[in-house]
Amino acid sequence: MTGFTNRRDFMCHGSSGFSALVLGNLLAAESRAAEQNALNPLAPRPPHVPGTAKSVIFLFMQGGPSHLETFDYKPALQKYDGQLLPESLRDFDLAQINTADAQVMAPQFSFRKHGESGQEISSLFPELSRHADRIAIIRSMYHDLFIHGSAMILMHSGTRLLGHPSAGAWVTYGLGCESDNLPSYIAMTDSVFRNGASMYTSGFLPAVYQGTAMRSEGVPIQNLQRGTNVSATEQRLLLDQINAWNHEHRRNRPADSRLDARISNYELAFRMQTAAPELIDLSEETQATRALYGIENGPSAQFGKMCLMSRRMVERGVRYVQLISSDWDAHGDCKGNHAAQAQKIDQPIAGLITDLEQRGLLESTLLVWIGEFGRTPIRQGSNGRDHHPYGFSAWLAGGGITGGTTIGSTDDFGFNAVEDKVHVNDLHATMLGLLGIDHERLSYYFEGREHRLTDVGGTNNLAARLVRR
């Protein structure tokens, strides 16, 4: 063996050895971490920075509620009711909206100020108005998609393109789950999932991060119950053998995320056979709690159950809950449509805020209320309004934000967002930021480049204005 001729020679060769040793340890650590992620891809993970929220309840008003009938009062619409839009708005070059001979339509509901903050809220929401000082209203949301399908995809995934992960999947990918017995991401609707599973898809993320559709009545999750001819012990033995085969199969196919998802989902489904029915069993809830959510009150009964179940979910460690209310698509009779829809959600959402606060969960639970767009300030058909993405409203509550706050504004007719404009990508960046996730660091490599929920846009500037100091 050739000896070292001097100390410099020794150090040079020795440092290479030390580097190799360190590199080997790092690679081994990464391998162990990868193996652990494969064994439990939903294991809780720390955020990039300390967040003010731990979970999200996303209240989606499918169909597009009118900002002009809900949270953005425009006296000019009352003044110019039945008249043509101002010349400046009629010249707006947009094929989807006929502004040339369009008549202004007055707000169909009265507004008044509520709480110490004086938030202006429609008479549609007498119960929610009691929480005016707990919600932050954004009156300057915008995007450029006029059609329901593409606008809903954008609102849930940050892009108009199909096949991309929903916000809930991104959150689960970033933070994992704090529950061993329930999915990290659960989606519920009072009607149907318009656009189907694309509303809660994992897209190109590993399949384990997809949302789980749950029912508020009957069997909570399809195909979850164990067959009557199989005991729990027999099922456990069968599952162990299936998992052994799946692990062997995965070793030869490391790039196929569906295998990890299958292994994880089999185990989770086994535990959920007890946890899921218990979750939707509201018999242990007091009569006062049931009344708080409007469960005994006809129109609000179903959404009330969904809201109460969402509280039970975040209590049990579910990270992201998506509740969908249908259908706010008011092309005709905007007043009748919105009155009926508000009856379904007003008391349940107000009850949810009250209940979360009473249980000390509001500070750690972010509520987001939004639709895929707003409605036009002009009349369509019989006192209806058309789709309108150029300026509309949303609100946030909980998660450490400052209530009684108003962000942004639209013009006098509610046509365009004009001050502190908030794009959907900005809203998603803010949601992630409140959870402690840097939206630019949460990415996934797919088809030759890194992808993220906020695409190539989005800022988290909104969070700085919303978070309580």
For the stretch 29-74, pLDDT in tens is: 333 334 445 557 888 999 999 999 999 999 999 999 999 999 999 9
Tokens found for residue 442:
């949460």
Tokens found for residue 156:
């849930």
The bridge status of strand 119-122 relative to strand 111-114 is antiparallel
Contact indicator for 111, 103 with CB cutoff of 8 Å: no
At which residue do the structure tokens 């929480």 appear? Answer: 131
Helix H or strand E segment including 20: helix 7-39
334 Cβ contact partners less than 8 Å away, ≥ 6 residues apart: 66, 69, 105, 108, 375, 383, 384, 385
The pLDDT-based confidence of 196 (bands split at 50, 70, 90) is confident
Which DSSP string do the residues of 362-393 spell out, in sequence order? Answer: GGGEEEEEEES-EE-SB-BTTTB--EE-SSEE
Q: Phi and psi dihedrals of 58, rounded to 5?
A: -100, 110
Helix H or strand E segment including 445: strand 444-446
Instruction: For residues 162 and 198, give the distance between their C-alpha atoms in angstroms, rounded to a whole number.
Output: 7
Instruction: For residues 434 and 463, give the distance between their C-alpha atoms in angstroms, rounded to a whole number.
Output: 7
Q: Is the pLDDT of residue 99 over 50?
A: yes
Q: Find the range with the poorest average confidence among 3-12, 158-167, 348-357.
A: 3-12
Q: Is the pLDDT of residue 186 over 80?
A: yes
Report which residue type is found at 83: Q
Q: Is the pLDDT of residue 221 over 80?
A: no
Which DSSP string do the residues of 152-215 spell out, in sequence order? Answer: HHHHHHSSSSTTPPPHHHHHHHHH--S-SSS-SEEEEESS--TTGGGGS--TTS-GGGS-EE--
Packing angle, helices 334-358 and 301-315, rounded to 10 = 30
At which residue do the structure tokens 């905007």 appear? Answer: 334
Which one, of 468, 469, 461, lies nearest residue 402 by Cα? 468
Contact indicator for 71, 139 with CB cutoff of 8 Å: yes
Instruction: For residues 42 and 363, give the distance between their C-alpha atoms in angstroms, rounded to a whole number.
Output: 24
The pLDDT-based confidence of 249 (bands split at 50, 70, 90) is confident
Using a pLDDT cut of 70, give the percent of the chain over it: 77
371-400 pLDDT per residue, tens: 999 999 999 988 999 999 999 999 999 999
Instruction: For residues 122 and 111, give the distance between their C-alpha atoms in angstroms, rounded to a whole number.
Output: 4
Q: Is the pLDDT of residue 323 over 50?
A: yes
CA 123 to chain centre: 26
The pTM of the full predicted model, rounded to 2 decimals, is: 0.84
Report which residue type is found at 54: K
Contact indicator for 431, 56 with CB cutoff of 8 Å: yes
At which residue do the structure tokens 């494969």 appear? Answer: 38
Report pLDDT for 248.
73
Which one, of 23, 108, 116, 97, lies nearest residue 65 by Cα? 108
Q: Phi and psi dihedrals of 111, rounded to 5?
A: -125, 150
Instruction: For residues 426 and 432, give the distance between their C-alpha atoms in angstroms, rounded to a whole number.
Output: 10
Q: Is the pLDDT of residue 87 over 80?
A: no
Instruction: For residues 348 and 340, give the distance between their C-alpha atoms in angstroms, rounded to a whole number.
Output: 14
Nearest-5° angle of CA 85, CA 89, CA 95? 105
Instruction: For residues 23 and 30, give the distance between their C-alpha atoms in angstroms, rounded to a whole number.
Output: 10
Contact indicator for 389, 373 with CB cutoff of 8 Å: yes
> Mean pLDDT of all residues in the chain?
85
415-439 pLDDT per residue, tens: 999 999 999 999 999 999 999 999 9
